[in-house]
Chains A and B, each alone.
Chain A
């Protein structure tokens, strides 16, 4: 199975701050990497697919990049609703696997 290592596990940040979350795969995944946001009530929302493509309706302050084994999610200017958990997910090979998550907290 491909292991996805997500860092940091938690990140205190301030409103308006630019933040980046990293995701490293245990082997190359050819950009088959998605990002999701989970709110405290459990609701899960898709953000980005195939490394850098923004899901319809997701604000443009979210962006994704990367290649090979290393990928990242950047939020350019934090809004109150962005404080949540974030997960990366690879779909290069089965089983599909997720990162362990990053909790974005208010500083």
Chain B
């Protein structure tokens, strides 16, 4: 069974950074891309970017360049996203999602809520 298990919710201070993880199981981690999607409270979905673990290649939405850094640890089948210089605009739920057929997301993590507050 394919599963994407994300790390727990985070409460972080403005200006700080946070790293959230997405542990994949039930499939060959390096055979698929991993994408990240942001959802602000009561809002729609926004694509942040993706990583192809087998070649460690990343692609970012220009809007999130400098904000998000995507990495993949092939030894633990885990994708990570670090968000830096956090502001209230970064308070959101962040999802990881497996990419197939290029850009279709067939499995999603449960989401991680990041709250930026002093």
Binding site for B on A (CB under 8 A): 32, 34, 36, 42-46, 49-50, 55, 87, 89, 91, 94-101
Contact = CB atoms under 8 A, between A and B. Distances in A.
Interface in B94-115: 95, 97, 101-108, 110-111
Given A50-B104, A95-B63, A42 B44 contact: no
16 contacts: A32-B103, A34-B104, A36-B105, A43-B108, A45-B108, A46-B105, A46-B107, A46-B108, A49-B104, A49-B106, A50-B104, A89-B45, A94-B59, A95-B47, A95-B61, A98-B45
Question: At the interface, is chain A mostly helix, strand, loop or mixed?
Answer: loop
Contacts of B108: 43-46
B43 to A, nearest CB: 8
Contacts of B97: 44
Interface in B60-86: 61-63
B61 A87 contact: no
B47 A98 contact: yes
B46 A98 contact: yes
B45 A55 contact: no
Contact of B106 (A55, A91, A96, A100): A55
Given A34-B105, A98-B45, 19 more contacts: A42-B93, A43-B110, A44-B95, A46-B104, A46-B105, A46-B107, A49-B101, A50-B104, A87-B45, A89-B45, A89-B105, A94-B61, A96-B35, A96-B47, A96-B103, A97-B47, A98-B44, A100-B44, A101-B44
